[in-house]
């Protein structure tokens, strides 16, 4: 748990839970709504450093998810674990967590297989004037990869 002057334990726990719930809402949109709202979770100038490509700006991130939809049916489950809050202020926070990704093109039900990626993720989050936390930068550091390729958009 982080320890920042001016944050009592209740503030720390509340902030950590708020950021974690935001992360779960993001992946729920990606997995069940094909990421139609995913770009809105980023700042206008947000950066998404995926495993093989970097997308700069909310519009480029939106294009990535539109491309993902255009490819046709795909089943994906982005599993988040070991969520931690690092450095933080009232309007900025850095979080880390692990992503375990199961994915395969096509309709459900897919044959079960090992995850196609396990990565350490680092998010730089900022709180906007509207009091909503958004991602200024998300970076994946892939530790394990195999099986089905992750989605990559080079447009």
Under 8 Å between Cβ of 53 and 65: no
Which residues on adjacent β-strands are paired with residue 123? 95, 138
Q: 133-145 and 42-49 as β-strands: parallel, antiparallel, unpaired?
A: parallel
The structural domains of the chain, with segments of one domain joined by +, span 9-145
CATH of domain 9-145: 3.10.450.50
Going residue by residue through the chain (155 aa), what tens digit of pLDDT does each one get? 565 667 788 888 899 999 999 999 999 999 999 999 999 999 999 999 998 899 999 999 999 999 999 999 999 999 999 999 988 888 999 999 999 999 999 999 999 999 999 999 999 999 999 999 999 999 999 999 988 778 777 77
């Amino acid at each position: 748990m982080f320890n920042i002057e001016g944050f009592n334990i209740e503030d720390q726990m509340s902030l950590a839970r708020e950021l974690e719930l935001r992360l779960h809402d993001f992946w729920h949109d990606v997995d069940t709504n094909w990421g139609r709202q995913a770009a809105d979770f980023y700042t206008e100038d947000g950066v998404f450093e995926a495993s093989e490509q970097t997308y700069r700006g909310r519009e480029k991130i939106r294009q990535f998810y539109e491309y993902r939809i255009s490819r046709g049916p795909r089943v994906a489950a982005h599993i988040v674990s070991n969520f931690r809050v690092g450095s933080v202020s009232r309007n900025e926070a850095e979080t880390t967590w692990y992503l375990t990704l199961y994915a395969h093109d096509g309709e459900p039900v897919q044959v079960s297989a090992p995850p196609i990626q396990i990565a350490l993720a680092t998010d730089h989050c900022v709180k906007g004037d509207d009091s909503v936390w958004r991602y200024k930068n998300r970076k994946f550091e892939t530790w394990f990869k195999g099986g089905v390729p992750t989605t990559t958009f080079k447009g």
